[in-house]
Chains A and B, each alone.
Chain A
């Protein structure tokens, strides 16, 4: 009886996921390999054309760059919050959470306002005599990465921070009392204890970056097209089967990279501990 009622509780969620996540995934797999007979031509086309291979590598590369920058830039931010008095932590977290929940579309638009021809930065540079005319900043790879890091950074900070709250700060005090310098206490105690959460943050940011669509489309040029943009392009041209094949590749590539990142991360961690000894 009890088990039965639990199944009822799970039913709406299960139906929702089955209908809109699981079944469509199988549909996509089928659409990518049956057209209408079994064929691998869509995948072949994907790996044979240089343009498509370029887009795939770029997506992995940009996502990796964004994830690494977010990790390096975000770690000290999370650490700063975690070392504040409890009441203050809540207030500071708000400053990170508000942009995190802001629409990506609006945050990307904000960068257009800042970096556009008539935008703030150009206005400042011309005003200060640093530039003669408007500098082209939109539609460049640097801008895409700057904006993507800004959009993903809160997620990295929050993930890192939640891992850091588990650290017993008395351990830091103990290290200091036992003669460790502040830097040593940081690298030998704090860093190893927050390593797992930091790695999780890196993986999450990487994963979400892989599916980025809005920012490369609005802030980047043709040379910044990512997999999601390629999928949309193919859908607009009614090449659904090919779009499905790209979608499958995106998912497989993401999962493979996540496993690789976790494995490399663990390996690097062991090396890090050995070096400390």
Chain B
């Protein structure tokens, strides 16, 4: 239902802003298929050489694999810890829920560089620099607030009487959780997991401070951009743009579906 007519000028403005937001990202795609050594636009001839140079270079492939491993571990940890915390936050009395949410989402307000510095000093003290699990845990701490926010929103919309009914019908607390509370939360948890994966997969600064011997993908991209701009980065970026767009499309759809099916 259209309540207020929006003027044509506002519509033009809106689309201009969408172009500003999306256009620079789209420009990367054709450049990655260029056959030139330079980041030239428009590209002079079509070639796949920069994709070959990405897939055939063990440095790039290893960096991708490390990032993937770290992101998966981080995703599992942050999604589990965040979902459990969200369940607890929504079960405690109102006056406790506020401070708990505030505490659980604390890392959002702290600059990554600050967290990176702190984790770096922690790693030096414990001798755990260059440790993938350490990096995954640090990423999990950074990603967890998003998980708490997304799953909390879904939990608030669940009808608690269903779980109570399961208990009345003789299910234990764990079974009631498994059959009544958990299933409607799955889409939201999956969406949160996807977001958490990318928080870790894209993170640069903490990795930069913590890892010395091995490189994550953002570290590899960073090193390449600092030295010289070559289109291999454009090829990697194109792959990441496509993957991120697809994954975020799925995550947002899941989140909306969660909101829709849970709405009373």
Contacts and interface: CB of A to CB of B under 8 A. Distances in A.
Interface string A20-36: 11011101100100000
B234 A24 contact: no
Interface residues of B, number: 87
Contact of A113 (B27, B218, B221, B244): B27
B4 A17 contact: no
A251 B27 contact: no
B176 to A, nearest CB: 13
Contact of B113 (A12, A101, A250): A250
Give chain A's interface secondary structure class: helix
A37 B92 CA distance: 44
Contacts of A202: none
A53 interface: no
B121 A10 contact: no
A84 B40 CA distance: 39
Given A16-B77, A213-B113, A9 B84 contact: yes
Assign chain A's interface to a size class: 35 or more
Contact of B10 (A79, A105, A231): A79
A79 B111 CA distance: 29
Provide the main secondary structure of the chain B interface: helix
B107 interface: yes
A224 B24 CA distance: 22
A118 B40 contact: yes
A109 B113 contact: no
Interface in B9-42: 10-11, 13-14, 17-18, 20-25, 27-28, 31, 38-42
Nearest to B237: A106
A10 B3 contact: no
Given A102-B245, A150-B20, 15 more contacts: A10-B85, A12-B77, A25-B114, A79-B6, A98-B244, A98-B248, A103-B218, A103-B244, A120-B42, A176-B4, A208-B111, A227-B113, A228-B113, A235-B117, A240-B121
8 contacts: A10-B100, A12-B81, A16-B78, A28-B114, A99-B21, A101-B198, A106-B241, A109-B225
